[in-house]
Structure 1
């Protein structure tokens, strides 16, 4: 039976209402924002160790699927949480590399809407096989049954404070006094966290304000021994790889940095492993500290960024391509064969950081 014009018109009207209703029902669904062509640009600051992750084309596409485009600029974690020159730019989000930065940001007037740990990476020490061989003979490095290297960082710090030469520690390939280099603790989180770990190790427990009074000068001596300190964890890691054994014998970094470098070119890592030159080695201080990476939401629009970064897909890419553990410090995917056995599944010797007031008081004692 043929439809009357009135019935046909009502049908079109109903279809239009249904379509419009469907649009409004789905337009606020975060995962469909990109499909509908709605894009929100978010400007914020990130730690340099996360730059490659956010520039990964698949990560960019996944974030775009939530209707977001990021203008993520690299800054030191300490800087982004307290420097007026950065905060005055009104970032929508901050993504530093330590949970303490949330408190420091609040103390500096940042109106934190929300914060959540998205990624984790323990602080490690990067060195070279000849150094590790010498420190193993000297009893400062041990190898676990699974093949990972553990460093007695307190013993190394004692040697550094005693102006001990490398040769005394069994490292005949190097000249001069033993040293370990981190980033600038007033600018970069890896140096910041290393400073807290050094203070706590010297104090024998999680450091307090009283411990800072007692051991602060020794911490400053360790850092004076370093010489130039890079403002960025990424730059320091690049210096380590470029400088080799003679340039950077031991540096402080994040576990994910070597993993990310290996996964970027597994064939290159195979060549390095089979070469006759000095090979990179990751050492796990015992105890160490965990570098939690909290996303600090300032603008409500950045709530969506927090949502996408915690999806299983993004968490898996963060681990399988860039070496970041999940919020609980565990693997969030199947490891590539290139890094099989390189990392412990769990870090069982972790020391809490001193509280923010102790850390800020210590930073004030370092030259800027």
Structure 2
């Protein structure tokens, strides 16, 4: 009798444990999820999020998803065959439009997941010199580039940092961007430059022909261009003002760096200057679902807990309607709670023409 009771007790415990495991995987609906591996290409700025243990746990336990990702430039990921791919996660709507133009035979489902504006990163000494030139202005602890046209003119005139009163700073005044033919942030920067040179008016094909020589000259004089925005930002932080006095990138990068390294937060606040261009451009982060598995991931990425995690740890402003971000962390590192002065990018045919011209 005792043995029978012992055996029954073991079976009950095992059954309860099995049910708990099933419930955790199946969810309250009681229907077991099919575990799926989703193969995607993604922009480098999302590497931290996709590697996050909590992110991976939510994807696996709540949606049955394991992501197999390949890091690739947003403009590169639409090239080549799409075999065995479930989705693409570039860093702009323009990159998504380029994909649709290059692959008209594919009818994907697309939704924007995050937003992040393009900003400039610099240092106290450089920022003060630009303030004296009337290029930058500080308002409510945020630094704004209030005269982007003058900043570009300083470069086109061949002005050096020494001309701006910085005798130890080598090189000419210039914004260092990523390769616009490979990386989305460089691509967006090229579009923003075109709009600024066109006096803020939308750029058409005729306007592009007029400004293209200047745009090509600016990028040629930046020297070697990184293919990844994350790599450029990493070099900016590690190599400092001498090598990288003024670079462009995503706002999310400084938020991710700040939250990832608490011991460096005082140093970041003291030395790093984030300059918000007026106007700037938004970098959208649409997910392009190519298969049913890709659609499952697309839905999962809009989960409120995923959206909160992406903001709090990696600085991505939510692109999902009805989800708001807590602005507290922005004030700590000199970022505005809202981005109010924004321009639209030139239309896709104009940007594609510029892209082809910048390749050569």
With the shorter chain as reference, the TM-score category is 0.7 to 0.9
Match of 2:186 in 1: 191
- Look up the SS of the partner of 2:357 in the other structure: coil
Match of 2:143 in 1: 149
Instruction: Decide whether the 8 Å contact of 1:160 with 1:179 is kept in 2.
Output: yes
| Matching of residue 344 in structure 1 with residue 336 in structure 2 | yes
Match of 1:252 in 2: 248
Structure 2 gap segments, 5+ residues each: 1-21
Instruction: Decide whether the 8 Å contact of 2:304 with 2:323 is kept in 1.
Output: no
- Look up the SS of the partner of 2:75 in the other structure: helix
Q: Give the alignment partner of residue 92 of structure 1, picking from 80, 86, 101.
A: 86
Q: Give the alignment partner of residue 203 of structure 2, picking from 197, 200, 207.
A: 207
- Look up the SS of the partner of 1:177 in the other structure: coil
Match of 2:72 in 1: 75
Q: 1:4-15 residue pairs with structure 2 within 5 A?
A: none
Q: Say what the alpha-carbon RMSD is for the aligned residues.
A: 2.5
Match of 2:309 in 1: 317
Give the CA deviation at 1:271: 4.0
| Matching of residue 122 in structure 1 with residue 117 in structure 2 | yes
| Matching of residue 327 in structure 1 with residue 319 in structure 2 | yes
Instruction: Decide whether the 8 Å contact of 1:319 with 1:332 is kept in 2.
Output: no
Q: 1: CA distance between counterparts of 2:321 and 2:155?
A: 31
Q: Taking structure 1 as the reference length, what is the TM-score of the superposition?
A: 0.85
Instruction: Decide whether the 8 Å contact of 1:262 with 1:339 is kept in 2.
Output: no
1:141–1:364 Cα change, 3 Å: same
Give the CA deviation at 1:341: 5.7
Q: 2: CA distance between counterparts of 1:37 and 1:243?
A: 47
Q: Give the alignment partner of residue 63 of structure 1, picking from 53, 59, 66.
A: 59
Q: String of CA shifts for 1:3-28, please: whole Å, max 9, x gaps.
A: xxxxxxxxxxxxxxxxxxxx9xx999
Give the CA deviation at 1:167: 2.2
Q: 2: CA distance between counterparts of 1:208 and 1:293?
A: 25
Give the CA deviation at 1:36: 3.8
Match of 1:363 in 2: 355
- Look up the SS of the partner of 1:116 in the other structure: strand
Q: For this pair of structures, how many residues does the alignment match?
A: 335
Give the CA deviation at 1:171: 3.3
Give the CA deviation at 1:112: 3.5
Structure 1 gap segments, 5+ residues each: 1-22
- Look up the SS of the partner of 2:58 in the other structure: helix
Give the CA deviation at 1:90: 3.5
Give the CA deviation at 1:340: 2.8
Give the CA deviation at 1:170: 3.6
Match of 2:275 in 1: 283
Q: 1: CA distance between counterparts of 2:163 and 2:323?
A: 38
Match of 2:48 in 1: 52
